[in-house]
Amino acid sequence: PESTASPGHHHHRAHRRDPYPFQRIDLRSAMATLQAAINMKPGAVSGSAGGATLLRDDDSLLRQMFFGILRHHHPNLARKVDVIYALAQAWSNSSEDADFDMLQKYLADLKPEEKILVASSFSHMLNLHNLTEEVNQSEMERAFRLVEMESPTRTTNKSLMRLTTEKGYSAEEVYKQLCNQQVDLVLTAHPTQALRTSLLRKYAAVRQELSKLHTKRMSEYEKLECLEAIRANVQAAWRTDEIRRQQPTPQDEMRGGLAYMNSVIFDMVPVFHRRMDTALQQLGQPRLPLTHSLFTFGSWMGGDRDGNPNVTWETTRDVCLVARLEAANAYFRVIEALMFELSMWRCNARVKEYAHKLMSTDDHHFGRIADERKRRNYADFWVPSMTTEPFRVVLANIRDRLFITREVIHQCLIQPNMDMKAALRERSAYLDIEELYEPLKMMYDSLMETGDDSVANGRLLDLLRQLRTFGLAMMRLDVRQESTRHTEVMDTITQYLGMGSYAEWDEATRVEFLLQELQSKRPLMPSGMQASADVQEVIHTMRVLAEIPKDSLGAYVISMARTASDVLAVVLLQRECGVKDFLRVVPLFETLDDLTNAPQQMRTLLGNEWYRTHINGLQECMIGYSDSGKDAGRLAAAWALFEAQEKLVAVAQEYKIKLVLFHGRGGTVGRGGGPTHMAIRSQPAGTIDGTLRVTVQGEIIEQQFGEPEVCFRTLDVYTSAVLEACMDPPRAPKPEWREMMSKLSAISCSEYRGIVFQNPDFVPYFHTATPVSELGGLNIGSRPAKRKPGGGVGTLRAIPWIFAWTQTRLHLPVWLGIGEALEKAFEESGEDVLSDMYDNWPFFQGTIELIEMVLAKADPRIVSLYEKMLAPPALWPIGEELRARLTKVKSNILRVIHKQKLLEEVKPGDSRGGSGGHLDVKLSLRAPYVAPLNVLQCLCLTALRDVQENGEANAQFSPSDPEILDLLSRVPASRAIGAPSPFVQAMSDALLITIKGVAAGMQNTG
């Protein structure tokens, strides 16, 4: 085979006068191939056929562009990649074993350094293809809004019309519901975003330019410039190391989340509220109240310490400060812009009086203030404004206080022992949002009174909405800790005081003790108490919470909460550590047993008068989708979650308590993921009482908030779904549906556990036939893959559990056990009940359609490849059994949904849903990119495991080519003493790239 690197040729090319010989040729040809798509008239995207054509054209454009870049840097490799793509496409179209064998043999013959670059090529092409899907989705969203095609999901506009015309609600009733409705989106640092931020930004630029080609009228030259910009970013992405060489810190994760807030969400929230105002105006209703926001945002980044030793009390303090700093920066920019806009002199008496008061203070220090503002390098308006410009006087004061706020926060970041709240108060910095909101609202009222309503309802209105949504903290931080850590603290206290061992007490004794202490006025925790490092960490965290401004904090979530004492212990520890404004304590029910017992535990809590008084009529409970699915299988977990929600709401209503359910949903179906509207509409009636909290995890943050059009759509879908869930909830399931679901749940759970927890061959098969052991090298999150070292599936976190099966294309956690459950149901009850459930019950329909979508991504041929190459022959029988079960579940799902094949497009007017044919097109376009990555992953795993077992006798690889050495030198350890050999470095890099690539192809990690 030809050498990938041709150093002499390459370096000669680099010094040529025209370094881009392929660029102009490729751009011209690309222009020709895409001209029809670019010149599409607005209605051309209408229908799935138009959308699919646009998708194919965009995919072809970016692939051609990438090949041009690859030929420029690696001409010999480009030819091989072209051959591999053709072989993969042939196999994807034919499904013939002979075609797959040719692909496998060709890839096996690649040199180690070629494997790295080939893996990287296909990974990049997949990421570029995903951009075309995102642009295609944005184009379809635009077509939906222009009523050029029917939206498959209801928008808020449609929901408003449906509720007022079909469901008999008055416009006033809908308006009142919206005024009481709020969605809290909690961004989490769950390690499922496999792409580096450096690449995400370059791909975002490509997406933006590609979108311009379809939406903006441009001359021929402008189109060429747009394509040049795309090529520049594609080239920059190709020349960027896609592997994270260092594990991110929680602070890094927080900054990553804040990047979405600053670049997209902060600006799109007021835009969405404006659209809502316009929609309400069409119904004859006023604007939404300025004091109300439809959304708030929370974060777990730097607060989620469950099983993550990297999150400490210092981390929590840091991320709160960083978030407050970002909020101050964002408001500072808006205030400076408003100072240019609000130049008018006419105002009401209140603003005039306030401006005079501020001016009278400034007059005494005129020169000093001007010099100080000059030093701060403000955009303009260094000299104090005159009272003839009263709005600028008020805004200048706000700007000064925001600048001071930023300075104080900077100092607090540098000095970890500085008291945050005291420092902010001392410098008259902003500590309470009302101090910032009131003068701005006063100016808004003044403009409205003087008839300048168009000015008032411009940027100033947007700012007021932003203040109500984001506050001074941008995102409120939740703290999460495992229940046993609090038990350890309580046990340390009671033993130190000679009261016995709290850990050994039964539940009744614990509850009695905790309630007695909570009602006592004396402190419990002694000063100078000796404690372990883990106990000290919990206590330090509680004390930091007392120091952090209350508007920076959200809830205190207790994972693995199983008893009422778990909640009461956290309330007591907050009091003992000086927390004045208590964080609401939220038990997280995760496993099947926890969900089953949750209603009784909440009854114990709410049945206590002291606790009811303490929570002031509001209780929040979190339900976990990830661990319940890993514990019992997807179907049993879904039904347990459904029933637990119904029962928790009933208990809360019994005690006249408002219950807020916090949904801990992951990105994948195996962890509760799926389309937002479907997920919300399939919840039990009455469980979303105007308020919804939900996690947005990992790669889903990018998918829902990566660019403005998508962000707007996300806000729209949440608003529409919650509005309908409250005003038009799904009907209660029929008794026969409940009976059927209980049977399906019991059988599927038994079958699932029989394989996962009881079959002795399963765990060895899982560890050998998947890359689960190698996932840690991805460095995609700050926390370990396991809660505890060692152990089997039980100690493994849900994310690597899902991630590993996604890589092998088996997707086992989503469907295992369901085929047998459906088969039994068909035998005993026929098809009528299941068909009725699918046609008329949103919960069941949504669950089945998500399983259908995942099954369409599964590929038993790829699964078999992993098994034959990686698992010992003694374990092959369990693999064959799993693939037989996969075949069974596919056929039984098709019986339920009345289709001949998965993802078959439903007929127009069919009342049933369906994943539709458009996803089928997307999967077929991704297939030729994903298959080579799967094969390469198996080859790399085989080679690395062989070295691990037998040493490097069979792995002779001593490159001398400078470019290959340069390629391998990206590994930080490569220069250290005792560093891995070049062969191991090459295989490790290639493996990690394939893992990222397959994740991109499945559009899911964990």
Burial profile 122-142: b = 16 or more Cβ within 10 angstroms, e = fewer = bbbbbbbbbbbbbbbbbbbbb
Burial class (CB in 10 A: 0-12, 13-18, 19+), 147: exposed
Cβ 443 vs Cβ 155: under 8 Å: no
Burial class (CB in 10 A: 0-12, 13-18, 19+), 894: middle
**Helices (runs of H) and strands (runs of E) counted in the chain:** 43, 8
Beta strands in 538-578 (DSSP E): 553-559
Cβ 455 vs Cβ 344: under 8 Å: yes
Instruction: For residues 495 and 502, give the distance between their C-alpha atoms in angstroms, rounded to a whole number.
Output: 8
Task: Count the neighbouring beta carbons within 10 Å of the beta carbon of residue 729.
Answer: 16
Give the DSSP H or E segment for 479: strand 476-482
The helix/strand/coil state of 216 is coil
Positions marked active-site? 190, 630
Specify the amino acid at residue 110: L
What tokens were used for 999? 């994740």
Cβ 474 vs Cβ 323: under 8 Å: yes
Longest dimension (CA), the chain: 90
Cβ 365 vs Cβ 400: under 8 Å: no
Specify the amino acid at residue 27: L
The helix/strand/coil state of 578 is coil
Question: DSSP alpha helices (H): ranges in 283-432?
Answer: 313-341, 349-363, 366-375, 390-414, 420-426
Specify the amino acid at residue 979: A
Instruction: For residues 109 and 530, give the distance between their C-alpha atoms in angstroms, rounded to a whole number.
Output: 62
Instruction: For residues 523 and 536, give the distance between their C-alpha atoms in angstroms, rounded to a whole number.
Output: 18
Give the DSSP H or E segment for 974: none
Burial class (CB in 10 A: 0-12, 13-18, 19+), 105: exposed
Beta strands in 865-917 (DSSP E): none
Nearest to 837 by CA among 623, 638, 592: 638
The answer for residues whose C-beta is within 8 angstroms of residue 83's C-beta and 6 or more apart is 106
What tokens were used for 68? 């041009």
Q: How far apart are the first and last CA of the chain?
A: 37
Residue 774 backbone dihedrals phi, psi, to 5 degrees: -100, 0
Partners of 999 in the beta sheet?
A: none
What tokens were used for 824? 């039994």
Instruction: For residues 619 and 657, give the distance between their C-alpha atoms in angstroms, rounded to a whole number.
Output: 7
Burial class (CB in 10 A: 0-12, 13-18, 19+), 219: exposed
Nearest to 250 by CA among 184, 325, 314: 314
What tokens were used for 581? 């404004």
3-class SS string, 415-463: CCCCCHHHHHHHCCCCCCHHHHHHHHHHHHHHHHHCCCHHHHHHHHHHH
Nearest to 73 by CA among 125, 123, 13: 13
Cβ 707 vs Cβ 208: under 8 Å: yes
Task: Count the neighbouring beta carbons within 10 Å of the beta carbon of residue 983.
Answer: 20
